[in-house]
Amino acid sequence: MALLFPLSVAKTLEKELKRPDEFVSFWTHFGAKLSQNRRKVIALLATVAVIVAGVWGWTFYRQGLAAKETLAFLRIDRIANAELLPDKDSDKKEPDKASAKAEESDVPRFKTEKERLEAANKEADAFIAQYGTEGLGRKVSLDKASRLIVLGNPAEAATIYERLAGSETDANLRRIELEGVGIAREAEGKLDEALRAYTALAEQCQAGSRFYLDQALYAEARVLQKQGKSKDAEKILREILEKAPKTPLRSQIDDRLALTAEK
């Protein structure tokens, strides 16, 4: 009812303005009406002020959160690409400008690549704990999985890739995630699961623009050869040459076909 008050005032004033009273202005009438309903007007304005303040407050909160989230995301990348500490021989040399700048950074430096990758994944875990696994969290998870493979933990990497691929709506990203599943499972020695992932990747590529189809089929053939299924592998290799005659994998395919023929 409070929101209808200004409308009722306007309608009343409109009627009064039609009267032949040349000495009373519109604003005189308006001021009189406001005086008569002073409490209602104050309550209405207070309500509007609270709503506006709430909207602005929420907007600034979300913007601040997004800024903090972006900074946390960038910090992971900076750690993953941080300079390694020089070896003992180079310690004797005068540090260059890049080294001096690195010393001033809030990002630590690491002795080995392994330490750097582990630190980046620790930071990734902290990011996901605070901001979740959606939005930028998906990219953080994807990068973490790739580092896990390098660190020799393909099982955990495969689990992350499978979770991402299972809920992915972007076709291009799903290709990357399915390939990640295949690579991780292959590194883990689970060839049947790797083959399923590569087959799913090839099917998705064939359903779309066929981009990356040659890579997916080549991965299938590679796993089949590891399983001792040379005939099936040969069939897929020839399929690649048929569907993608200009593939950059031509030399590798020819080498594998030659090995298959020898057997």
Q: What is the mean pLDDT of residues 254-262?
A: 83
84 φ, ψ (degrees, to nearest 5): -85, 150
Average pLDDT, the chain: 80
pLDDT of residue 49: 57
* pLDDT > 70 in the chain, percent: 68
pLDDT of residue 96: 55
pLDDT band at 6 (very low <50, low <70, confident <90, very high): very low
pLDDT of residue 61: 52
What SS3 state is found at 249?
Answer: coil
* pLDDT > 90 in the chain, percent: 57
Please report, for the chain, the start and end positions of each structural domain, with discontinuous segments joined by +. Answer: 152-263
Q: Pick the residue with more confidence: 48 or 119?
A: 119
Tell me the C-alpha distance between 185 and 127, whole Å.
26
H or E segment at 200? helix 191-207
Which residues make Cβ contacts (< 8 Å) with residue 192, sequence separation at least 6?
none
Contact call for residues 107 and 78 (beta carbons, < 8 A): yes
Instruction: Write out the two tokens for 159.
Output: 């689990």
What SS3 state is found at 115?
Answer: helix
pLDDT of residue 259: 81
pLDDT per position as a tens digit, 61-106:
556 668 889 999 999 999 999 999 987 655 555 555 545 554 556 7
Domain 152-263: state its class: mainly alpha
Strand partners, 110: 84
Tell me the C-alpha distance between 74 and 106, whole Å.
13
What SS3 state is found at 110?
Answer: strand
pLDDT band at 46 (very low <50, low <70, confident <90, very high): low
pTM of the complete model: 0.70
